[in-house]
Amino acid sequence: MKNDVQCLSDAVAYCGAELKRFSDSPFLEAQLIVAFVLGISKESLYISNDEKISEDKLEEIVAFVEKRRNGTPFYYLVGKREFMGLEFKVNESVLIPRPETETLVEKAIEIADGRSLTVLDVGTGSGCILLSFVKYNGSSVGTGIDISEKSISVAEENARNLALSNRVKFIATDFRNFFSKLKFDMILSNPPYVKTRNLIHLKHEPLVALDGGIDGFELYVDLIRKAFRLLKNGGYFIVEIDDCLSAKTFDSFKKEGFLDIEIIPDLADKKRFVAGWKK
Ligand code: GLN
How far, in Å, is the centroid of ligand 1 from the Cα of 210? 6
Distance of CA 93 to the CA centre of its chain: 12
How far, in Å, is the centroid of ligand 1 from the Cα of 240? 9
- Confidence (pLDDT) at 48: 86
At 200-257, the pLDDT tens digits run 999 999 999 999 999 999 999 999 999 999 999 999 999 999 999 999 999 999 999 9
How far, in Å, is the centroid of ligand 1 from the Cα of 269? 16
pLDDT tops 80 at residue 74? yes
Pocket test for ligand 1, best of 208, 240, 245, 274 (most atoms within 8 A of CB): 240
pLDDT band at 2 (very low <50, low <70, confident <90, very high): confident
Beta pairing partners, 143 = 120, 169
**Ligand 1 atom closest to the CA of 98, numbered from 1:** 1
pTM of the model: 0.94
Instruction: Tell me what the mean pLDDT of segment 92-114 comes to.
Output: 97
At 207-218, the pLDDT tens digits run 999 999 999 999
pLDDT band at 29 (very low <50, low <70, confident <90, very high): very high
Instruction: Tell me what the mean pLDDT of segment 82-110 comes to.
Output: 98
**Ligand 1 atom closest to the CA of 240, numbered from 1:** 9
Q: Quick one: fold of 92-277?
A: Rossmann fold (3.40.50)
Domain ranges for the chain: 2-71, 92-277
pLDDT tops 80 at residue 88? yes
Q: Is the CB of 192 under 6 A from ligand 1?
A: yes
How far, in Å, is the centroid of ligand 1 from the Cα of 201? 14
Q: Is the CB of 193 under 6 A from ligand 1?
A: yes
Q: Is the CB of 210 under 6 A from ligand 1?
A: yes
CA within 13 Å, CB half, 50: 0
Pocket test for ligand 1, best of 95, 103, 129 (most atoms within 8 A of CB): 95
Q: Quick one: fold of 2-71?
A: Helicase, Ruva Protein; domain 3 (1.10.8)
Instruction: Tell me what the mean pLDDT of segment 253-276 comes to.
Output: 98
Residues in the chain: 279
Atom 1 of ligand 1 has which residue's CA nearest to it?
A: 98
How far, in Å, is the centroid of ligand 1 from the Cα of 155? 18
At 119-161, the pLDDT tens digits run 999 999 999 999 999 999 999 999 999 999 999 999 999 999 9
- Give the C-alpha separation, 257 to 228, whole Å: 8
How far, in Å, is the centroid of ligand 1 from the Cα of 193? 6
259-265 vs 271-277, strand pairing mode: antiparallel
How far, in Å, is the centroid of ligand 1 from the Cα of 197? 14
Sequence-separated contacts (24+) of 221-225 with Cβ below 8 Å: 221/252, 222/175, 222/176, 223/122, 223/175, 223/189, 223/191, 224/249, 224/252, 224/253, 224/256, 224/258, 225/256
Q: Is the CB of 190 under 6 A from ligand 1?
A: yes
